Structure 1
Amino acid sequence: MDDHSSAVTAVTASVSGGVGTITFDRPERRNALSLELFGALGDHLDAWRTDDDVAAVVLTGGEEMFCAGLDLDLQSGFTQETRAAYAAACLRVYGGLLDYPKPTVAACAGPTLGGGCDIAVFCDIRVGAENAVLGFPQVKFGLTPYFSPLWKIVGLSQAKLLTLTGDRIDAAEALRIGLLDRLVPTGTVVAAATAVAASIAATSTKSAMFNKEMVLRSPAMDPISALSFETMAYREIIWHPDVVERITDAFGAIRSTP
């Protein structure tokens, strides 16, 4: 169990089998984003950056809701101070997810809206339940969404549709346009997302981090630079003791097979 207190921050966190799980726990507010929730989320993510027991991270709000976006109580009562604090919280959490050194998986159920949809988009992988509803309804109030990296996931035209209209889409449409990577029955999304993260964790923390680094850096490179970078990463990881042991064990198993 993670050491951080979670009772007062509406976030719980745990680590098992190489997977760190952060659960939003404000069901009475549909897991709406408060400064406290943002702070706790950022604290757990920061703590796990250098924790070798965590190879991959799952973000979830449970089976009924992911996150309905910014808490309207906070938004309606914005002051200069709280508005600045909220902007700083966005930069910290969204920026931290965007450049996170370990793979992240969002388990999207029910309302996955506004800032909640942003969190999902800033994760590496999105597993959705059939009851998921995604979108950026804050646009209807005249507010702006995050356009990037959404457009890199769903393409420019679909990103324009979502961010210019503020219309919500169901899980089937989200899967069709690529906003969701996998769709699973309602009530199973946390287990499905955890299974994906566990599969990543099984490669070892070091391998997961090397592969995440390639995921982060290679898309911005020209093809030859990417080839060189990925070859150097391979040369480095191939000599890691965990990898050497796995390869040796695998070849030993093959040789011993009749």
Structure 2
Amino acid sequence: MTPTFHTILLDVQDRVATVTLNRPDSRNALNSLMCAELVRVMESLATDPLVHVVLIQAAGAAFCAGADLKERKTMNTSEMTARRVQGFAAYGAIERLPQPVIAVVQGPAFGSGCEIAAACDFVLASSEAIFCYPEVGWGTVGATQRLPRIAGARKAKELLFTGRRFGAAEACEIGLVNHMYAPDALQPEALEMAKKIAGASPLTVRLTKRSIDQGLATTREGAMAIELLAIEENLRGTDWQQAIAGFGAPAQGDRA
């Protein structure tokens, strides 16, 4: 039975799960309930063998306008700390998914919106998407870990210190976004890419993701050991011999 959510939508078709941030009237601002529901849905998808790829998108004009500041106005220091931990839990749940996760950013992604996107394996964006890290301007600390690992320390410091807005083209240049598309082409391109990935061996894709993520966190020698273990597990768990045997064979309908 499909779980019920109040701030997100979940749709699974053809091995692709689409998670939609669904607070368009609030520009999909991240509140406590959305944090909890993102954790719930990611935990559910992580153990679903029918889900090979996950898309994270948003309803309305904005991807995510950042944290819900209306919710924070009445919080004390302890409550604010707890709320920040909730955000960390949501980003971490996205990051820990064994399946590939693609962010589809159609509009503004500020603060928490950038963190959600950065927690995905990669990002596809509309040419109309706008990005911003406003944390310093709000008198708070945030986004200090993922952005430097993507864009480098110097670029991250500039974007965090100034809080300036930047477009999808610059986001591509610094590595935050992988590909930029015309607004009407974004969804079809994202779905086509997701379906292509979903057609590959799910174990092989998961092991490739795990090897990259774990390998970056250790030494080169340790990373090679991680990849070797993944290769061995893949050989035991997939029909690799059949795949190799079929390599180069004429497609159905082709003539020799």
Change over 3 Å in CA distance of 1:243–1:127 after alignment to 2: same
Is the contact between residue 133 and residue 143 of structure 2 (CA under 8 Å) also seen in structure 1? Answer: no
Note if 1:145 corresponds to 2:142. yes
Cα RMSD of the aligned pairs, angstroms, is 2.2
Report if aligned partners of 2:127, 2:169 keep a CA contact under 8 Å in 1.
yes
What residue is the counterpart of 1:182 in the other structure? 179
Q: Quote how far apart the aligned CAs of 1:251 are.
A: 6.7
Amino acid in the other structure paired with 1:193: A
Question: Offset of 1:91 from its aligned partner?
Answer: 2.5
Inter-CA distance 53–128: structure 2 relative to 1 (3 Å threshold): same
* Alpha-carbon distance, 1:97 to partner: 2.4
Q: How many residues align?
A: 254
Partner of 2:104: 107
Residue of structure 1 equivalent to 2:35: 38
CA contact (8 A) 2:53 2:198 kept: yes
Listed as ranges, the gaps of 5+ residues in structure 2 are none
| Alpha-carbon contact 1:69-1:113 (below 8 Å) kept | yes
Secondary structure in 2 matching 1:41:
helix
Kept in 2: contact 1:66–1:108 (CA 8 A): yes
Q: Could you tell me which of 158, 161, 165 is aligned with 2:158?
A: 161
Unaligned 5+ segments in structure 1 are none
Structure 1 position 135, deviation (Å): 1.3
Aligned equivalent of 1:237, options 213, 225, 234: 234
Measure, in 1, the Cα distance between the counterparts of 2:249 and 2:236.
Answer: 18
**1:113-132 to 2 correspondences below 5 Å:** 113-132=110-129
User: Which of 92, 95, 99 does residue 95 from structure 1 map onto?
Assistant: 92
Choose from 73, 77, 81 the match for 2:74: 77
2:215 touches 2:223 (CA, 8 Å); kept in 1?
A: yes
Residues 249/43 of structure 1: CA separation in 2 closer, same or farther (3 Å cut): same
User: Deviation at 1:36?
Assistant: 1.4
Q: SS of 1:95's equivalent?
A: helix
Alpha-carbon distance, 1:195 to partner: 2.5
TM-score normalised to structure 1 length: 0.90
Which of 201, 207, 210 is the equivalent residue of 2:207? 210
Deviation for aligned residue 1:95:
1.8
- Answer whether contact 2:38 2:93 (CA < 8 A) is retained: no
